A and B are shown apart, each in its own frame.
Chain A
Amino acid sequence: MSKTPERPPDTVLTGPAGVGPPVAGPALVSQHGFSARYDLDRENGFFSREAHDLHGQSFLHRILVFPTAKGGIATSWMLQEMASRDKAPLGLIFGVTNPVMVQGAVLAELPLMHRLDPPPHQTIHTGDWLEMDPAAGAIKIWRASTD
């Protein structure tokens, strides 16, 4: 999928209000945690940590989904820096996030949401089309595969 389908969404996740503007795009889902410092080649836009389940994959033009945030504080400056070069992901969705990710998302004006029901990393699959509406606390999902 490269744009929002005409049909109604297959699933809608709801939760508390997030930060950042609404965005739509394809999902890239991990069962690992996320840190820009620990996991990314920020120059070239892909996951560089060999032990990460998204190793080698590009995060550009994707909405990233993780169960949790990990690691230290560097991600916040890094999101702003990546956004300044158009090398940031489209948005971030967590099972539960930490303050660092939120602080970075606010500065970079990236959409970020967490604590959704049902848990996003168990519900969303890589390739699904997502519409994130942080202010409304809602994520619409169109399945890539309807199997």
Chain B
Amino acid sequence: MLDGRHGDATRSALQFQLSVGEFFKAEDFVPIRTAHLASDPESLRDAGAAYLEEMVSKDARFRVPTTTNAGTVDFAKSDLIGQREVWPRRARRILDSLDSMGAHLCNTCVNYQTIDQPLFGEHLAWGDTGTVIWANSVGGARSNFEAGPAALAAGLTGRVPRYGYHLPQQRLATVRVHVDAKLHGRAAWGALGCLIGRELNDYWTVPCIVGEALRPSPDELKSFGASLASYGSVAMFHMVGVTPEARTEAEAFGGIEPARDLSFTSDEIEKLYREFVPESDHADLVVFTAPQLSIMEIGELSRLFVGKSLHPDTRTLITTSSISAAESRRLGYSNTLESTGVIILEGVCFYVMAPHELAEDFGYRTLVTDSAKLANIIAGYGYNPVFRPTSVCVEAAITGQIPW
């Protein structure tokens, strides 16, 4: 590939990977089954779009199946939510380039729930940290955080430098986390991910979660992992009796003595909600997102919202994948939700929708969400995030008030 026989795009992709691999002292490369590529226009803007077009002009073609992560624009509803018109244009440029390279334009951050199951022991090059932590922890597959340019390169070469979470030794637990709490719902599990993540705050640390009452649903694990990755930049966790490399605590640690022991109870989770202090009683926005909602989560919201109507001065958004959106329409959930005024957006995630401009253009400031991950990220975009359990978010959407 380095001699250019496979084209300039593949050569430059491999050169890029060699630089990264040398930095992390990778000894060789490992073939991957799929790449998952974050390519939202909010990150790429014109420079990234031009970079992709340059790759297309060098005949770039993906050698392994490559899926795309949640984007900035739902083309059918961009006007409705008032995005500036530059974003559909940028999104189209980027998607056209990736389409011509042969990507599957799935635009989802829950590819593992709808598109591509990570399998035990296989190597992947996934981006979006929520997808990586799921693949490593729940699937037992092997991936580092492959940010957009890196997943692009991996899709083109079909391999990645072998370091980090591709190596068995890196996958062993290093910190033990005792959890004495019965957790229910995406917010509570996201809160636990936040508490652990901000305590660890290190890509190379692997927590092992231990607790008798831990029996999460897949959606709850999704929320936990995405939050842990967001607050801690953590790429893998074990949960004893739940995840496949932790049938026992001894298996998870593999003979390593825990460097630290942490413990959390229900009290700390309740206190965490209270750390997010509303500046105003009024909710400008209520957002269910990050990660995109599954069909079961949308179904749950439709049951909570049925027969209600939204407060006219509070905008309420759900983001999901196109697949779950289609199923939600077929099952009548969309109709229930949309008849109350909820807007369901597909193929996007709120924090990549140029939220700073939405704040400027519509005066949004106080944002209520049951996503711990969104509450973390959105603080950098000029918002006052208020992280609350799902039922409180629903109440805020209906009354316009934040009850606590």
* A interface residues, Cβ below 8 angstroms from B: 16-19, 33, 35, 37-41, 48-51, 68-78, 80-81, 83-85, 96-100, 102-104, 106-107
Contacts and interface: CB of A to CB of B under 8 A. Distances in A.
A99 B24 contact: yes
B45 A103 contact: no
B195 to A, nearest CB: 15
B379 A99 contact: no
Interface of B: 16, 19-20, 22-25, 38-40, 42-48, 51, 127-129, 144-150, 164, 201-204, 229-233, 351-352, 356, 376-377, 379-382
Residue of A38, A51, A69, A75 most packed against chain B (CB within 10 A): A38
Given A68-B202, A80-B51, A102 B24 contact: yes
B148 A76 contact: yes
B128 A72 contact: yes
A81 B45 contact: yes
A78 to B, nearest CB: 6
Contacts of B127: 73
Given A51-B379, A99-B203, A72 B129 contact: yes
A37 B47 contact: no
A106 B380 CA distance: 25
A104 B151 CA distance: 12
A98 B200 CA distance: 13
Contact of B380 (A39, A68, A84, A85): A39
A94 B233 CA distance: 14
A70 B197 CA distance: 10
Closest 4 CB pairs of A and B: A76-B147, A98-B203, A84-B47, A73-B147
A87 to B, nearest CB: 11
Nearest to B384: A50
A75 B48 CA distance: 12
A99 B144 contact: yes
A99 B146 contact: yes
Contact of A72 (B51, B230, B379): B230
